[in-house]
Amino acid sequence: MPPKIRIIAVAFSFLLVIYVFDLVRRRHLNEEYSVGWLVAGVSIFILSIWQELLDYMTSMIGAVLFTSTLLFFGLFFIILICLHFSIRISALTRQINRMTQRQALLTNDLYRKLREMKKA
Amino acid sequence: MNDRILVIIPSFNVAKTIASVIEGVKSELPDADIVVINDGSSDDTAEIALREGADVVSLYHNIGYGAALQTGYLYARLNGYDIVVQMDGDGQHDPSSLKTLLRPIFSGDADVVVGSRFLGETGYKPSFSRRIGMGLFGLTASLVIRQKVTDPTSGFQAMRRPVVELFCTDVFPVDYPDADVLILLHFAKFRIREVPVKMYMPEKGKSMHRGHKNIYYIFKMFLSIAVTLLRQKPAGGRLCPRK
Q: Domain coordinates of chain B in residue numbers?
A: 5-230
Cα separation of A77 and A83, whole Å?
10
State whether residue A86 sits within 8 Å of chain B by CB. no
Residues B130-166: tens digit of each pLDDT: 777 778 888 888 998 889 988 888 899 999 999 999 9
Burial (0-12, 13-18, 19+ Cβ within 10 Å), B124: middle
Q: What DSSP character marks residue B204? A: T
pLDDT for the residue B212: 54
CATH of B5-230, one of 3.30.720.110, 3.40.47.10, 3.40.50.720, 3.90.550.10: 3.90.550.10
End-to-end CA distance of chain A: 84
Handedness of CA A20, A25, A29, A30 (dihedral sign): positive
Q: What is the pLDDT of residue B1?
A: 58
The chain-wide mean pLDDT, for chain A, equals 92
Residues 6+ apart with CB under 8 A from B71: A101, A104, A105, B10, B37, B57, B59, B63
Inform me whether the C-beta atom of residue A97 falls under 8 Å from chain B C-beta atoms: yes
Question: Is pLDDT above 80 for A26?
Answer: yes
The answer to whether the Cβ–Cβ distance between B59 and A108 falls below 8 Å is no
Q: What are the two backbone dihedrals, phi and then psi, of residue A30, each rounded to the nearest 5 degrees?
A: -70, 150
Percent of chain B's residues with pLDDT above 70? 86
DSSP summary character for residue B232: P
CA distance B170 to chain A (A): 9
What pLDDT score does A114 carry?
A: 93
Q: What local confidence, expressed as pLDDT, does residue B122 receive?
A: 63
Q: Do B57 and A112 touch (CB under 8 A)?
A: no
Q: Which amino acid is at B11?
A: S
- pLDDT-based confidence at residue B243 (cuts at 50, 70, 90): very low
pLDDT of B118 reads 85
Helices and strands per DSSP (H, E), number in chain A: 4, 0
- The answer to whether ipTM exceeds 0.90 is no
Which strands make up the sheet holding B5-11, listed edge to edge? B55-59, B33-39, B5-11, B83-86, B157-160, B112-116, B192-196
Residue B11 pLDDT = 96
Q: Most A CBs within 10 Å: which of B6, B12, B33, B63, as the mutation test of the A interface?
A: B63
- Mean pLDDT score across all residues of chain B: 86
Contact indicator for B180, B228 with CB cutoff of 8 Å = yes
What are the pLDDT digits (tens) for A33-86? 899 999 999 999 998 899 899 999 999 999 888 888 888 988 999 999 999 999
Torsion of CA B136, B174, B214, B221, to 10 degrees: -30
> How does pLDDT run across B90-106, given as a tens digit for each residue?
999 999 999 999 999 99
- Structural contact between residues B59 and A101, judged by C-beta atoms closer than 8 angstroms: yes
CB B72 within 8 A of CB B41: no
First to last CA, chain B: 26
Q: What is the DSSP string of B39-53?
A: ES-SSSHHHHHHHTT
C-alpha pair distances (Å), A26 with each of A17, A23, B34, B86, B100: 14, 5, 50, 49, 62
What confidence score (pLDDT) does residue B185 get?
93
Burial class (CB in 10 A: 0-12, 13-18, 19+), B201: middle
Residue range B189-239, pLDDT digits in tens: 999 999 999 888 766 555 445 545 667 777 778 888 888 888 767 765 544
* Shortest CA distance from B65: residue in chain A: A97
CB contact under 8 A, A108 and B58: yes
Q: What is the pLDDT of residue A102?
A: 96
Q: Are B188 and B236 in contact (CB under 8 A)?
A: yes
Q: Is the separation of the CB atoms in B83 and B3 below 8 Å?
A: yes
Q: What is the mean pLDDT of residues B64-83?
A: 96
**Confidence class of residue B242 from pLDDT cuts 50, 70 and 90?**
very low
- Residue B193 is predicted with a pLDDT of 95
> CA nearest A93 in B: which residue?
B63
Q: Cα A60 to the chain's mean position, in Å?
A: 27
| Closest in A94, A100, A109 to B60, CB measured | A100
Instruction: Evaluate if residue A32 carries a pLDDT over 80.
Output: yes
pLDDT at B69: 96
C-alpha distance from A58 to closest chain B C-alpha (Å): 37
Question: How many A-B residue pairs are in contact by the CB < 8 A criterion?
Answer: 38
Alpha-carbon distance of B222 to B140, in angstroms, equals: 9
